[in-house]
Structure 1
Amino acid sequence: MSTVNELYQDVSGKQKDEYRDYLAIIDRMDWHNYDYTTWPCADLSFQDLEEGEDYDLWPFKPNLNEPHWVDLNNQFKSGIRRYGYVHKLEMPEQVRELSHENATEILNDIKNLKDSDLSEFNDQIQEYGFSDENHFLWGIALLDSAEEKAYDAADNLLKEQKAKLDAQMDAHIEAAEAGGLLDPINGIDMETWAAANAKIAGGMDLEEVLKVVGTEKPIWDEVSAEWTARMSQDTTFAISKVYGDAFMNSNIGKFANAENNQESETGSSAGNNDIYEDFELYVKVMCHQNMGATQGKDAASILQEYGLTVTDWSSVGMHWTTKMATDTRMALKMGELMEKYNAEFASAKAGDDIDF
């Protein structure tokens, strides 16, 4: 039989003519007696490898329906999944007969028994066909992995659909531009009109907005009426998309300068950046507003408690809505967080005595 040194050669990047002799050695290998646990670079002397690293890969993985050290080192680098892979563990039949949801719930209930009733814990894992605790923990990890793969598949589908819709909308916007539907009205383009409306919604005085835009109220009223008419007649929603993007990012064009940025003047944006990174904070503020509305409290005043303006909140909402559109986990988490904070604010009368 061939020696380890003969069998393990890195021929990556070489032409076949350069390793014909090596191919002959591989062909003579007795794969029926192949044992991945004794193969070079299987690294079974230690169980955990660094997750961020790629480990030695043999360029000729045999086509065998059994564990292989290539997968062991680069698919299961650490943890209980690696342990299960090494020991060729299988999910007990008692668990395979259950639905994924029921199996996950039952196994996690059993897991919670360990700290409170070790004897019952051991009885339960045996009842469900597990040989020992490691086998049981591997089973939970396998269910979790399957769930993650399902979420990833759903997210990928959502991303594909979103990419198609985005491409379609881009085409509609190009057509609108070519057809003159986005041409300025009395010198005021769509982005400027949208940004101006965002500033007004955020509390900026109309007279100040008109000064920035460089127009007077009669002209502004005509422009607003015409842009509104164009949007209402646009069945592709291209104009509405351009408007929405500019409204959510209103510090553009004539409103880009710091002296014209109301948030900079008032300081209302101070401290609101966290909400773009903290999904739970976003849901908390949303629930605070919802519960406050049922109790007659002003939504804008609630936003002020978090250092936010109405315009800020519109931008934040668009930010998280876009993320949730391609993240099923986030959408599910939102339901859990809403239940938590709706109960909290309801009991505290929409924030009374709540520590922000």
Structure 2
Amino acid sequence: MSTINELYQNVSGKNKDEYRDYLLVLDRMDWHSYDYTTWPCADLSFQDLDTNENYDVWPFKPNLNEPHWVDLNNQFPSGIRRYGYVNKFVMPEQVRELSHDDATDILNDIKDLKDNNAEEFNDQINEYGFSDEKHFLWGIALLDDAEEKAYDAADDFLKEQKAKLDAQMDAHVEAAEAGGLLDPISGIDMETWAAANAKIAGGMDLEEVLKVVGTEKPIWDEVSAEWTARMSQDTTFAISKVYGDAFMNSNIGKFASEETNQGSASSSSNGSGGLNEVMEDFELYIKIMCHQNMGATQGKDAASILQEYGLTVTDWSSVGAHWSPKMATDTRMALQMGELMEKYNAEFASAKAGDDIDF
């Protein structure tokens, strides 16, 4: 078996011909007996490392193309997980017998005792098989890591499914284009019609919209009826997808000029005020959603509720387009949504849909 001194060699800067014998030493090493806590390469003289740096497990490790040790320091660079790994902590049997959710709830309840009742805290961690406070905190960290990994796995699955659905919808749109379903009607294409409807919903006068589109009301009415009919008959929803994209991003085509967009929406439509705030605050988005839902049951107009937050109907469409894809691929956000909806539905129900709004 190789000795410590034979394994602990600095070959940095050497080529492989110069340390061929050293490669043979490594090859003869019985790695089943390797214990990173006892070999010089463990580098355990300090516990926490800078998480922005990459560290070697021995002070003279060569580059990645040369022989090197398994880099355990990069797996656990700092914190209680590193401390627990170094000290070979294991989860007590009392905790392993519990489900993940029950174990998490119990340990967090015990953690809450730490600052209020030190004696009971120590009794509780001993009852659940932890040797000391650090062992206990490591146990909580281990459960948290397992939960994060589960969430990440769920998110990866959702993202994979969304990518498949997006690809399928793109194929439907291409087929619709090839089949003529997206051909303009009386010179008005789908994007223009959708953008025009968005402007109308945002408060732009119909006459001004028709002027930008370059048509008259009788033709507009015919075009609207035909586009609506096409959408209702499209079982692939390709037309609806194109419509939705243009409606939520209505500053396109004939409506792209700055002059066209002036005065056509609320003060928030240029990226300020209420729109900016709700784009950055997920809780606020859920709050407004609940406000509208509860307001509808009490006879309040959804548009008027949006105005209380400095938003237009068009703004709200943009907000939905911003948050919906995130919720579709973020399990944590979906769970948070349920908690927030419960909170704000109760608030607005008791306040009659926000008679007393704290915004």
Report if TM-score (shorter chain) is over 0.5.
Answer: yes
Equivalent pairs counted in the alignment come to 347
Tell me what 1:210 maps to. Answer: 210
User: Aligned in 2, Cα 1:18/1:177: closer, same or farther, shift over 3 Å?
Assistant: farther
Contact 2:248 2:317 in 1 (8 A): yes
Tell me, what secondary structure is at the counterpart of 1:350?
Answer: coil
Amino acid at match of 2:290: C
- Could you tell which deviates more after superposition, 38-47 or 251-260? 38-47
- Could you tell which deviates more after superposition, 298-307 or 104-113? 298-307
Residue 3 in 1 paired to residue 8 in 2?
A: no
Rounded to whole Å, the distance in 1 between the matches of 2:154 and 2:17 is 44
Rounded to whole Å, the distance in 2 between the matches of 1:101 and 1:208 is 58
Q: How far off its partner does 1:61 sit?
A: 6.4
Contact 2:204 2:265 in 1 (8 A): no
Tell me what 1:229 maps to. Answer: 229
Amino acid at match of 1:291: M
User: Aligned in 2, Cα 1:4/1:329: closer, same or farther, shift over 3 Å?
Assistant: farther
Q: How far off its partner does 1:43 sit?
A: 3.6
Q: How far off its partner does 1:116 sit?
A: 2.1
Rounded to whole Å, the distance in 2 between the matches of 1:349 and 1:235 is 40
Matched ranges for 1:33-44 at <5 A: 33-40=33-40, 42-44=42-44
Matched ranges for 1:1-356 at <5 A: 1=3, 3=5, 6-9=8-11, 19-31=19-31, 33-40=33-40, 42-56=42-56, 59=64, 60=67, 70-71=71-72, 73-261=73-261, 266-269=266-269, 270-271=272-273, 272-356=275-359
Q: How far off its partner does 1:32 sit?
A: 5.2
Tell me, what secondary structure is at the counterpart of 2:153?
Answer: helix
TM-score, length of structure 1 as denominator length: 0.90
Percent identical among aligned pairs is: 81
Amino acid at match of 2:337: M
Tell me what 1:65 maps to. Answer: none
Contact 2:266 2:311 in 1 (8 A): no
User: Aligned in 2, Cα 1:138/1:202: closer, same or farther, shift over 3 Å?
Assistant: same
Rounded to whole Å, the distance in 2 between the matches of 1:11 and 1:162 is 48
TM-score, length of structure 2 as denominator length: 0.89
Q: How far off its partner does 1:52 sit?
A: 2.6
Tell me, what secondary structure is at the counterpart of 2:145?
Answer: helix
CA offset digits 1:132-171 (Å, max 9, x no partner): 1111111111011001000000100111111111111111
Rounded to whole Å, the distance in 2 between the matches of 1:343 and 1:40 is 61
Q: How far off its partner does 1:202 sit?
A: 1.6
Q: Which runs of 5+ in 2 are unaligned?
A: none
CA offset digits 1:192-247 (Å, max 9, x no partner): 00111111122221111111111001111111111112112222111111111011
User: Aligned in 2, Cα 1:18/1:326: closer, same or farther, shift over 3 Å?
Assistant: farther
User: Aligned in 2, Cα 1:18/1:107: closer, same or farther, shift over 3 Å?
Assistant: same
Contact 1:107 1:140 in 2 (8 A): yes
